[in-house]
Amino acid sequence: MLAKELELIEAQKLAETDQLLIEEKPLPLDNLDKNIICADALFTEWPKADTIIGNPPYLGSKLMKPEYGNEYVEKVRKSFPEVPGRADYCVYWFQKTHDQLPDGGRAGLVGTQNVRNNWSRIGGLDYIVDNGGTITDAVSAQVWSGEAAVHVSIVNWTKGDDPKPPYHLSVQRGDSVDSPWETFVLSRINSALSVGHDVTDAAVLETNAIAARVYNGQFPRHNGFVVEPEIAREFIRQDRRNDEVVHPFLIGREMLVEGEPQRFVIDFQKRNLFEAQSYREPFEHVRSTVLPHVEELARKERDNTGKQTGQNQLWLKTWWRLFRSRKELIDKVSRLSRYMVCSEVTKRPIFSFVDPEIRPDHTLEAFVFEDDYSFGILQSGIHWAWFIATCSKLKGDFRYTPESVFDTFPWPRAPTREQIKVVAEAAVALRALRREPCGS
């Protein structure tokens, strides 16, 4: 319709010089009621087409329920059982698009960068290549030029008809829209949209998963649980017992920069309300700062859903506890002399040992190891290579995801006593080298 109007404007200009009469008008507009449909694309019948292009909505799996509600999310997951529940929202469009294509059809979608990682990859690009799809041209990572501060992936594929290679895979190196590009000509583009090691078939190793050695840190969800050192010391001065629930609290940035906690957290763990009240000063602090906020969250959730159940209403029943206190992690590290942490989002993982009295924030991944050999393996170049090949990405940085990185990581099999000794000594030497610039 825009082209029609512009064409008529140009025609009228010419007509004025040639003294011609142009009767046609740009209005009224053509009727496009049958072409444009305002509906939920996941639950609407699509017209038959040989080519499908689109830009599905960007939303991480953790935000789906707060944004759309439990009922809608359950409806989506029930309708697309092949998509893991932890996949990004846009992944459902990738699967539906592929199912809608006829043999020989083509598609091109923009998605979050996560479409090539872990659960999102399994539900989308893995599904496509496992069901007759061939990725022919893709952008592994590109800085989104819109308002959302994200990196995106762009994937073009065919169904059934297997076009001959070469195929092209591009990646933007950096976090600016002007960052440089690199393009690779490949005989095959894997579902991870990677040019390095193809680890898309890496499986969870039972020996790693059962041991449950890696946990994401605690998530208070409210700053009222976190206090400055002066307040923590005053709590303990007033009652020595308060040190049972007031702990140093380490976040990722502090671990990398300062090397030690700069604040404390009030952590009642799974103590009931009566037990928590016995720690009077910390409890009163949480009651006055956290409880009103949780009550308001629960009220809004109840008003929005019309139900007496939900995430925030459940939290209200245990409002004095951290939103995620990670009891299993705390129980395990409390039995160790030290444990390991690394920042969850990083350009390269830096591992450190910390005291079991220190609580890790959710910006850290905590590793239930206290020995130097395990430290050496996890800090090694082998684990680093596995990490960048299997982890998920946040913008230009890597995110340590235990399910995809640690649970699939093949540890050395049956190392000798001498090999263990060499790795452990290297780990000790590395930590000593790190301490030198700090003068300690």
In a domain, 42, yes or no: no
The pLDDT, as a whole number, for residue 240 is 96
Q: How many helices (H) and strands (E) does the chain have?
A: 17, 17
Are residues 230 and 340 located together in one domain of the fold? no
pLDDT averaged over the chain? 90
pLDDT tens per residue, range 126-149: 999 999 999 999 999 898 877 766
Are residues 365 and 420 located together in one domain of the fold? yes
Residue 98 CA to chain centroid, in angstroms? 24
Write down the pTM of the prediction: 0.74
Are residues 150 and 55 located together in one domain of the fold? yes
Are residues 70 and 180 located together in one domain of the fold? yes
Tell me how far apart the alpha carbons of residues 173 and 115 are, in angstroms, rounded to a whole number: 18
The pLDDT, as a whole number, for residue 27 is 78
Q: Strands of 339-343's sheet, edge to edge?
A: 214-216, 364-367, 339-343, 352-354
| Count of domains forming the chain | 4
Domain stop point among 325, 341, 374? 325
Are residues 385 and 299 located together in one domain of the fold? no
Closest of 188, 125, 187, 122 to residue 154, by C-alpha: 125
pLDDT tens per residue, range 150-203: 789 999 999 987 788 899 999 998 878 888 999 999 999 999 898 877 777 788
- Among the residue ranges 70-84, 197-211, 397-411, the one predicted with the least confidence is 197-211
Beta bridge partners of 394: 397
**Confidence band for 19, pLDDT divided at 50, 70 and 90:** low
Which residue range forms the structural domain that includes residue 365?
Answer: 202-217+331-440
Are residues 321 and 335 located together in one domain of the fold? no
Are residues 344 and 435 located together in one domain of the fold? yes
CATH number at residue 112: 3.40.50.150
Listed in sequence order, the DSSP H helices in 190-339 are 206-211, 229-238, 252-256, 273-277, 280-289, 291-305, 311-316, 327-333
In a domain, 197, yes or no: no
Are residues 316 and 347 located together in one domain of the fold? no
pLDDT tens per residue, range 274-297: 999 999 999 999 999 999 999 999
